[in-house]
Homo-oligomer: A and B are copies of this chain.
Amino acid sequence: MLDRVLSTIESRKHQSLALLKEFLSIPSVSTKPEHKADMQRCAMWVADQCRFAALETAVMQTPGHPIVVAKNKHLPNRPTVLFYGHYDVQPPEPLDQWDTPPFEPTIRNGAIYARGAVDDKGQVWAHIEALLAWQAHGGPPVNITMLIEGEEEIGSDHLEAFVKFHQESLRADICVISDTNQFARGLPAITYGLRGIVYEELTVSGPIRDLHSGLYGGAVQNPANVLVQLLASLHRPDGTVDIPGFYDDVVSISAAERAEWSALPHDDPAFASAIGVRALAGEASYTTLERLWVRPTCDINGLTAAYQGVGAKTVIGAIASAKLSMRLVPNQNPEAIRRSFESAMNDRAPKGVQLGFKNFGCNPAIVTPRQGHGIALASRAIFDGFGTLPVLIRSGGIIGAVEIIKRILRVDSLLVGFGLPDDAVHAPNEKFELESFFAGQRTAAALYAHLSDL
């Protein structure tokens, strides 16, 4: 039966791409209030496609953006698979660095370019396409529940309450998520660990109005000067993060994992050259993969102060602000880290300014089982989809849902992702290679077959 499903996938390539383009054309930028209507439209569009795959589908409102839930007819005596994905995307800025507009999906060099191409619309679409193909052959041999949210890129703020409220209806034996990468081109992967995050906006306010830097400079605190002092204080000269207690709960890496990762075909010069830097950086005595997967960080994600136009303006701005995120590893407590960060900033701020904080995400790191029946079945599915077995890896990213689904539904997630490391996730010219896209569809179709053996 799987063979026939895979043939259907093969025959629908053209339609499948056309629909993905429709999906990618909707600017579902969850963080921007002006896209609220686009978010609704995108959820409705996803729901319609689920209905074409013969799923019973509902668009459920939340205090934020809607969540799409879709199910086939659940039968007793067969496993239930919860699929989790998201239809929201990151902001497309900086727009001038896109070769083609972010919401006008374009195919070139064997890839589709658009914001959300791989994160996560293309990967969600691979699964819906697999279900459409299964539908042509009587439907998949497992119970399916699709849970597709619109707030992954902004911290999945309303997912926890939603999953709690609907936990009976969302009960499942395993969860499948395709929001991660292959390890390298031709080397697919199952991801078993993700970092967590604390995302903060820090605002330094000084005078009630902008001041002439000649007439006031030297006699008042300049909020921008204070901001850079505060932000610089977050790192020690050796590159470690200087927030009290930051490393207290960090789990150290096992020798076994270190050895396993050192066998992966990772090459520092190639990694550096792919992103155009002459030298890598990070904590001493850790490899690049270790720095990315199991070491916590603190990165500035945005700086805003005073005059940013062309040329010069001699001004002391009334306000300066930064967006920054701390990537967390097992067992750091996000809420404790957030509190420690905020009190460190307040302790270090001089008189004459006031600090403000906004939190945009607080999720712990997570590790899913590396062994077991689920992993074995997913490996077989990847073999069917890609023609090769996967490696087991971690990722430096974060998918808040994994922890929520584990904690509330007590279900482990299989992170079976189809992207490539150079897909420019969250960056201009985000892409999804067509080969990855179709291998992903095949993998998803095979997964819904094999998981019937769970």
Contact = CB atoms under 8 A, between A and B. Distances in A.
Interface of A: 30-33, 90-91, 93-94, 97, 153-155, 181, 195, 197, 199, 201, 206-222, 224-225, 227-229, 231-233, 235, 271-272, 275-283, 288, 291-292, 295-318, 320, 323, 325, 327, 350-353, 360-361, 395-398, 421, 424-429
Contacts of A97: 209-210, 318
Contacts of A397: 212, 214-215
Of the listed residues A275, A295, A318, the one surrounded by the most CB atoms of chain B closer than 10 A to its CB is A275
B31 A277 contact: no
B300 A224 contact: yes
Given A291-B218, A300-B222, A310 B207 contact: no
Contact of A299 (B154, B291, B316, B323): B316
A427 B303 contact: no
A374 to B, nearest CB: 24
A229 B300 CA distance: 12
A429 B306 CA distance: 16
A350 B93 contact: no
B396 A216 contact: yes
Contacts of A292: 215-219
A327 B218 contact: yes
B31 A313 contact: yes
A302 B306 CA distance: 5
A277 B207 contact: yes
Contacts of A318: 97
Contact of A276 (B209, B212, B227, B327): B209
A346 B270 CA distance: 26
A12 B100 CA distance: 59
List the 5 shortest-distance A-B pairs measured between CB atoms, nearest first: A208-B276, A31-B311, A232-B232, A214-B397, A312-B360
B303 A306 contact: yes
Given A208-B275, A209-B97, A229 B219 contact: no
Of the listed residues A216, A305, A396, the one surrounded by the most CB atoms of chain B closer than 10 A to its CB is A216
16 contacts: A32-B309, A33-B310, A90-B313, A90-B314, A211-B275, A217-B327, A225-B298, A228-B228, A277-B352, A279-B352, A302-B308, A303-B303, A303-B304, A312-B325, A314-B325, A314-B426
Nearest to A201: B312
A295 B277 CA distance: 40
Contacts of A278: 351-352
Given A155-B312, A314-B301, A426-B314, A352 B280 contact: yes
B281 A350 contact: yes
Contact of A232 (B229, B272, B303, B352): B229
B210 A426 contact: yes
Contacts of A296: 218
A429 B235 contact: no
Contacts of A425: 212, 215
Given A154-B311, A312-B154, A314-B197, A395 B215 contact: yes
A206 B280 CA distance: 10
A362 to B, nearest CB: 11
A226 to B, nearest CB: 9
Given A220-B275, A228-B231, 4 more contacts: A213-B301, A218-B296, A225-B235, A302-B315
A22 B216 CA distance: 30
Contacts of A232: 228-229, 231-233
B281 A301 contact: no
Contacts of A307: 91, 93, 301-302, 323
A301 B297 contact: no
Contacts of A33: 310
Contacts of A197: 214, 314
